Chains A and B, each alone.
Chain A
Amino acid sequence: MDKIGIYAVPFVISAIVLAGAVKRIDIFESFKEGAKEGISSLISVAPSLIGLVIGVNMLSASGFFELTADALSPFCHAVGIPPEVLPLGLIRPVSGSGATAILSSILENNGPDSLIGKTASVMAGSTETTFYAIAVYYGAAGIKKTRHTVPAALTADFCGIITACAVTRMIG
């Protein structure tokens, strides 16, 4: 299963570059344009990422994650979530930069290729900043009441957390 990643990345990149060649677009100019957007989005998240990495680093140094993991481990084991990755699941719907900061701390403390590190990576890759999306999209369209959007979207996020843990445990 691990090998798929090794083949997928070069395949995706060469397929896309070839598609660009077939369509006769200016490939390198497009790459530069996209890379520039990557730089500007990194710059735009930098201030919040700096603040949240400081906050998460403080929590991590204070022993907060160990204390909460101990306290929550009966619940986590009951639903099949490693307690170490729970903070990521909690912050993911609220803040993208917060999730980046917490994922980075989990990977650093447990190792990126450990089961916990892989579970956290899969979780981060399969969920989104739900509240941000609801606020931005509904706000722009002038929708004020949300009906059952929040319960539906949060249930979907919760399913994402559970599937990330289960899939990684079974075939990771």
Chain B
Amino acid sequence: MLLSYIWVLMIVGSVICSFITGRSAILAAAITEGADKSISLLFSMAGVMCLWTGIMKIADKSGISAGIAGILSPVLSKLMPDYAKDSSALKAVSANITANMLGLGNAATPLGIKAMKEMQKHNRLGDKPNNSMIMFVVINTASVQIIPASTAALRKAAGSTDPYSILPLVWISSALALLAGIIVTAALNRNGGVQNG
């Protein structure tokens, strides 16, 4: 529903803008051109995307994701103290975060839903999320991706000489952002914890 509003704003906004900038003719051409461009974009992304979903599937089946999840689990139990002793919730959370790290998008969403349902089983706040659940959402949405495949695919599609040159920057930036997110959430949890008991 939100996307409907955004789309209407995009279309009406661009028409109004074209009056201001005097680019009505260019805009008219851009509509058909955009439709055309979307398909060539999908095609030029497809190979790189499938390369990584394929490679990461091998990683998943080789036990690499289970290994990473095992390393993450003790750290996550510190960040989500409500579930430190709940192994099934913690296992689902670790599996979801690992799937996000490896870019296993198809696997990540069902694992995240499973994790949240496991957490909800022992949530004393009813229809409100407890602090650990909020921490899970923040870690999940600030996730560190080892190979940002779709970004690399888009860079290749735009003619980059080295689509993967951004890898170390992405690692540093997303690790810092994750750290900031955890600190902010821990601070808000402390305040919210007082209000919500």
With an 8 Å Cβ cutoff, the count of chain B residues facing the other chain is: 104
| Interface residue ranges of B141-197 to A (CB < 8 Å) | 141-148, 150-151, 154-155, 157-170, 172-174, 176-178, 180-181, 184-185, 188-189, 192, 196
Prevailing SS type, chain A contact patch:
helix
Prevailing SS type, chain B contact patch:
helix
Q: B23, B54, B189: which contacts A62 (Cβ < 8 A)?
A: B23
A62 touches B174 (CB 8 A): no
> In chain B, what residue has the closest Cβ to A8?
B167
Q: A16-B55, A32-B54, A149-B137 are in contact. Are A140 and B116 (CB under 8 A)?
A: yes
| Interface residue ranges of B38-96 to A (CB < 8 Å) | 38-39, 41-42, 45-46, 49-64
A152 touches B181 (CB 8 A): yes
Q: A5-B162, A57-B34, A153-B141 are in contact. Are A163 and B176 (CB under 8 A)?
A: yes
Distance of A12 Cα from B145 Cα, bound (Å): 13
Q: A121-B166, A163-B173 are in contact. Are A149 and B140 (CB under 8 A)?
A: no
B14 touches A62 (CB 8 A): yes
With an 8 Å Cβ cutoff, the count of chain A residues facing the other chain is: 105
Specify which chain A residues have a CB less than 8 angstroms from the CB of B27 in the assembled complex.
Answer: 58, 61-62
Tell me how far the C-beta of B174 lies from the nearest C-beta in chain A, rounded to whole angstroms.
4
Q: A42-B49, A104-B158 are in contact. Are A62 and B61 (CB under 8 A)?
A: no
Q: B3, B21, B34, B141: which contacts A58 (Cβ < 8 A)?
A: B34
B17 touches A113 (CB 8 A): no
Interface code A98-128, partner B: CB below 8 Å = 1, 0 otherwise? 1011011001100111000110011111111
Specify which chain A residues have a CB less than 8 angstroms from the CB of B109 in the assembled complex.
Answer: 136
A49 touches B41 (CB 8 A): yes
Distance of A60 Cα from B175 Cα, bound (Å): 32
Taking beta carbons and an 8 Å cutoff, which residues of A are in contact with B? 1-2, 4-6, 8-9, 12-13, 16-17, 19-20, 22-23, 25, 27, 30-35, 37-42, 46, 48-64, 66-67, 91, 93-95, 98, 100-101, 103-104, 107-108, 111-113, 117-118, 121-131, 133-134, 136-138, 140-149, 151-153, 155-157, 159-160, 163-164, 167-168, 171-172
